[in-house]
Amino acid sequence: ETLKMSHVRPQDTTIDVELRTFAASVAEATGGEIDIQLFPASALGDYTAVQERISVGALDMATQPAAAAADRRMQISSFPYLAATWAQAQTIYGPGGAVREVMNGLYAEQDITVLAAYPVYFGGIALNVENPNPASTEPNGIKVRVPGIKAFQLLGEALGYIPSPIPFSEAFTAVQTGVVDGVIGSGAEGYYASFRDVTTTYVPANTHFEVWYMIISNESFAALSDEDQATLKEEAASFEATRWTVAEDDQARNEQRLIDDLGATVAELSEDDLAAMASKVRAEVWPVVLEDVGVDWGQAILDQVAAAAK
Amino acid sequence: MIEIALLAIAILVITLTLGVPLPYCFGAALMVMYFIGDVTMKGMMLWGVQQLGNPILLAIPLFVLAGTIMAESGIAASLLRFVNAFVGHIRGGLGVVAAVSCAVIGAISGSGLTGIAAIGPILIPEMEKRGYPREYATALIANSSILGLLIPPSVTMIVYGWVTDTSILACFLATLGPGLLIMFSFSVMNLWMSRKFNLILDDKPTFSELSSEVAKRGVHAFPALLMPIIILGGIYGGIMTPTEAAAVAVIYSVPVGFLIYKGLRLSNFFEAGKEAATAVGAIMFMILFSMILSQMFVYESIPQQIVSSIFAITENKIVLLIFINILLFLVGMVVNDITAIILIAPLLLPLMTAIGITPVQFAAIMGVNTAMGGVTPPYASILYLGARIGKVKVTKVIPPAMFLIVTGYVPVVFLTSFWPDLSLFLPRLFGY
Amino acid sequence: MTSTEIHVGGTMDRFAAILLTSLICFVALGQFFQVITRYVLQIPVMGLEETMLYPTIWLYIFGAINASRENSHIRANVLEIFISSERAHTILAIVGEVISLIVGLWILSWAWDYTQYAWRVWRESPTLYIPTFYSDVALVVGVTLMMAYTAWHLVKHILSLKNGTVA
Ligand code: NA
Ligand code: NA
């Protein structure tokens, strides 16, 4: 059985290498029964379209962010400042975590099975200009491109930037020519992959915890034998477990790469700075986004997250 | 699977030759993939429609509309008169005016048709009056009109950047060098040709006459000259994205056309809007189905298979480049520029990358070849429009057009392929 | 053409011109507004981009419908150049229209499939949560009308072939 899997990063990036290893171990564990064929760099379409195509059974698998077009509640996955540390992130998004369980359910409603979560990084802000006061959340007049996701637009504003909605396809060019001065919504690894020539300053503001999901269409999953299904799940679980152990170092390595390879400045933010940003965003952004996803539904999850953090 | 892909392409070519509208030709190829190749259509519409939503595509109708408005409104005519003030009195100068004016118009319009549509009706009779053969004048302006696709902005480069995920601004700059070289080579060829014509020349003006004339026409052309500055300055100066620049071009040209040059009236304004929207509508369905077709190819890993089967024959870069240029020339003979790009670019880009041609240089190679397709028979939309505007028989206009293509165009096509700096110098300068 | 046909054609023409020009100017104004708010006023408007998607898609679709109405879709009339008889041209046009109809109806079935999907899932735009169905439905509307016009051209061509007149 050949399973076609899409992911969003170019060939030979960390995720691509890790997924190739995963595919190899699945092939080995199933005695060649399951052949996972990778399609890097969104060759099968951007993650929104890919998720919908998986949902209708037109594509088999993907490892990518959750797309909220079909269900706005999926925004819970990228809620800003939900986790503050890697340990917290694992309790929230890891197996059995509050957000993880909810996401499993939301995906299931779209006829999709979640095989694993893939922790990527804590997000930050990449700028092509200097930010003399990166810790401040006062308006700084710096225009940043934000993805078309409400939480990020509000987040940018709360942190003092001028958020500009520019389509991703034009984002790089827009930063390069100076239509905007930077980008928000990704992290060190993402900026290195897509914005490396226009990143001179990186603000590791821990804006959100970026987590991707390894998903498979229920139709493709059901077509596998019981034995292969179990093997695939096991391999995915161990893929995730391994990732949780290396992700934090991976993030540090990517931030270091911005400094070493690009000569970018990485702003120093203290724990107090981050806490101040977090509380401002929680106060200003959360209520609005909660309104969108359903206050009762969302608050219940946030309560669970808070309870787990104690 | 590659056999079925080739069958799909064969069906595409056959239906195309029969004169079936292009969207359905691609649809017929899709049917081959679906019914014979057993590739799923499920989810394909979903993907295709999402592609159409990309705002960058919106730049196409807007740049086309800006071009149509400038042709209708007298904006182009004032540019023509301005350019003419400099070189009109030189022997063969009027031919140079044609090439240079088309280049200037190209800096506003994104299409290859604007030049001939805008200045053909004025310049062809004028050139004939001054002793140029009518069919030669028509061929020269039609060929120069292609510069609209090579001098940025350009709809073909927008489409190329979009299907190959390459920076559109870098693609714009990539064809600028070859475009200027073509303008230059047409000018030189024209001066050489002009020796044989029995031309009527103006008296050579004195320097003060010349400068007062340049100043007078310059003032009149000023609002028009501002347009390329707003568009290209706005894009490269970091004020707006290409799509926004296209919108600004339209917004700017409407009052200028209505109030300053006064060539724009309600009737031709609505006609221009309808033309631009219909042109883009006709393109969009073609784009939708061709994107789905190429997505099916990606899904079945056809491009990789093409690369390996071609490499099985030869890996020689020079041989491959010559082969690809011939292929593009043949494709350009039968289909229009945008079709050629969406059909060929995704299929061949992996091959080009494998032999060390960057996506930006390939943009230039595709750009000059597909632009040339507009004047190479049998399907030569720009040349035929020229023949209609110049009121010359198509068969009469083909010989001088072929002469200009072979002497002025083909050398630049080869230079673009074998001299990377020609297309990469400007993009590098801008940091791409 | 009868005089009623000319009259209807003229009205349709004017209607198409006004509709298409309004749509294209509307999207141009939207983009222009974005530049002004971002560059001049320094307060970009959220959600404008996703709002513009609706008139944009309808612009494309109405443009395509109008191309079918005018029979001005892009074709590579390679054969027509080598064949000079009007009768042969009409036969060629009929062949082209039959193929268009076969392909188009197959496409229509997938457009319908897509519309049902869009209705069932009821997707929303990312910040203003405008249902995307209102632009999704354009596809099936567009293909249907394009098929209707293609069928109409086919009928006219067949009649002209029968009556020996040139359509
Ligand atoms: Na141009
Ligand atoms: Na041609």
pLDDT for position B119: 86
DSSP secondary structure letter of residue A180: S
For B177-199, the pLDDT digits (tens) are 999 999 999 999 999 988 888 88
| Statement: residue C6 has pLDDT above 70 | no
Tokens of B34: 């679906």
Average pLDDT over residues B353-372: 94
* Closest to C23 in 3D by CA, of C63, C80, C67: C63
CA–CA separation, A161 and A184 (whole Å): 10
Residue A303 burial (CB count, 10 A): 11
Chain A: give the shortest CA distance to residue C121, in Å. 6
Q: Per-residue confidence at B61, pLDDT binned at 50, 70, 90?
A: confident
Q: Letter for the amino acid at C163?
A: N
pLDDT for position C165: 64
For B27-48, the pLDDT digits (tens) are 999 999 999 999 999 889 988 9
CA–CA separation, A232 and A25 (whole Å): 10
Q: Per-residue confidence at B423, pLDDT binned at 50, 70, 90?
A: very high
Average pLDDT over residues A64-92: 93
How many Å lie between the centroid of ligand 2 and the Cα of residue B327? 12
Average pLDDT over residues A48-75: 94
Lowest mean pLDDT among A260-269, A282-291, B196-205, B418-427: B196-205
pTM of the full predicted structure? 0.90
| Statement: residue C77 has pLDDT above 80 | no
| Statement: residue A193 has pLDDT above 70 | yes
A239 and A22 in contact (C-beta within 8 Å)?
yes
How many Å lie between the centroid of ligand 1 and the Cα of residue B156? 9
Lowest mean pLDDT among B41-50, B79-88, B405-414: B79-88
Q: Per-residue confidence at C9, pLDDT binned at 50, 70, 90?
A: low
Report CB contact under 8 Å: B61, C103: no
What is the side-by-side order of every strand in the sheet holding A209-217?
A35-39, A2-7, A61-64, A209-217, A112-122
Question: Which residue in the set C30, C56, C73 is minimally distant from B22, CB to CB?
Answer: C73
Q: Letter for the amino acid at B429?
A: L
Of B64 and A245, the structure prediction assigns the larger pLDDT to A245
Is it true that the peptide bond before B61 is cis, omega within 30 degrees of 0?
no
Partner residues linked to A62 by β-bridges: A6, A215
Residue B278 burial (CB count, 10 A): 25
Q: Per-residue confidence at B378, pLDDT binned at 50, 70, 90?
A: confident
| Statement: residue B260 has pLDDT above 80 | yes
Chain A: give the shortest CA distance to residue C6, in Å. 45
Of B362 and A310, the structure prediction assigns the larger pLDDT to B362
| Statement: residue C82 has pLDDT above 80 | no
- Decide the pairing of beta strands A162-165 and A143-146: parallel
pLDDT for position A246: 95
* Helices C48-70 + B266-299 axis angle, to 10: 100
Of A263 and C73, the structure prediction assigns the larger pLDDT to A263
CA–CA separation, B221 and B225 (whole Å): 6
Whole-number Cα distances in Å, B421 to B10, B361, B364, B428: 36, 9, 11, 9
pLDDT for position C114: 95
Helix (H, G, I), strand (E, B) or coil at C68: helix
C61 and C136 in contact (C-beta within 8 Å)?
no
Residues of C in contact with A171 (CB under 8 A): none
DSSP secondary structure letter of residue A13: S
| Statement: residue C1 has pLDDT above 50 | no
Residue A133 burial (CB count, 10 A): 11
Q: Per-residue confidence at C4, pLDDT binned at 50, 70, 90?
A: low
Report CB contact under 8 Å: C59, B281: yes
Tokens of C30: 């939207």
Residue extents of the structural domains in chain B: 40-430
CA-derived radius of gyration, chain C:
21
Non-local CB neighbours of B312 within 8 Å, separated by 6+ positions: none
Average pLDDT over residues A107-117: 97
B136 and B408 in contact (C-beta within 8 Å)?
no
CA–CA separation, B280 and C74 (whole Å): 11
Instruction: Provide DSSP, B276-321.
Output: HHHHHHHHHHHHHHHHHHHHHHHHTTHHHHHHHHHHHH---HHHHH
Phi, psi (rounded to 5 degrees) for A61? -140, 165
Q: Is B132's Cβ below 8 Å from some Cβ in C?
A: no
Q: Is A149's Cβ below 8 Å from some Cβ in C?
A: yes
- Residue A41, sorted as left (phi over 0), alpha (psi -120 to 50) or beta, turns out to be left
Average pLDDT over residues C61-87: 85
pLDDT for position B164: 85
Of C8 and A193, the structure prediction assigns the larger pLDDT to A193
Report CB contact under 8 Å: C17, B271: yes
* Helices B44-52 + A47-55 axis angle, to 10: 160
Average pLDDT over residues B96-116: 89
Report CB contact under 8 Å: C127, A149: yes
Instruction: Provide DSSP, B357-381.
Output: --HHHHHHHHHHHHHHGGGSSSS-H
Instruction: State chain A's mean pLDDT as an integer.
Output: 93
Chains meeting C at 3+ CB pairs closer than 8 A? Answer: A, B
For B194-244, the pLDDT digits (tens) are 888 888 777 777 888 888 888 888 888 899 889 889 988 998 888 888 899
pLDDT for position A51: 96
Average pLDDT over residues A122-138: 95
CA–CA separation, C136 and C133 (whole Å): 5
For B133-148, the pLDDT digits (tens) are 999 999 999 999 999 9
- Decide the pairing of beta strands A182-186 and A124-127: antiparallel
The ipTM value here is 0.89
Chain B: give the shortest CA distance to residue A98, in Å. 31
* Closest to A137 in 3D by CA, of A161, A101, A104, A170: A161
pLDDT for position C3: 52
Average pLDDT over residues B346-357: 89
| Statement: residue A10 has pLDDT above 90 | no
Which ranges in B91-206 belong to alpha helices (H)? 93-106, 114-129, 134-145, 147-150, 155-164, 168-194
Instruction: State chain B's mean pLDDT as an integer.
Output: 89
Report CB contact under 8 Å: B169, A173: yes
Burial group, residue A24, by CB count within 10 angstroms (0-12, 13-18, 19+): exposed
B335 and B343 in contact (C-beta within 8 Å)?
yes
Tokens of A33: 């029964």
CA–CA separation, B126 and A233 (whole Å): 77
Residues of A in contact with B243 (CB under 8 A): 170
A149 and A170 in contact (C-beta within 8 Å)?
no
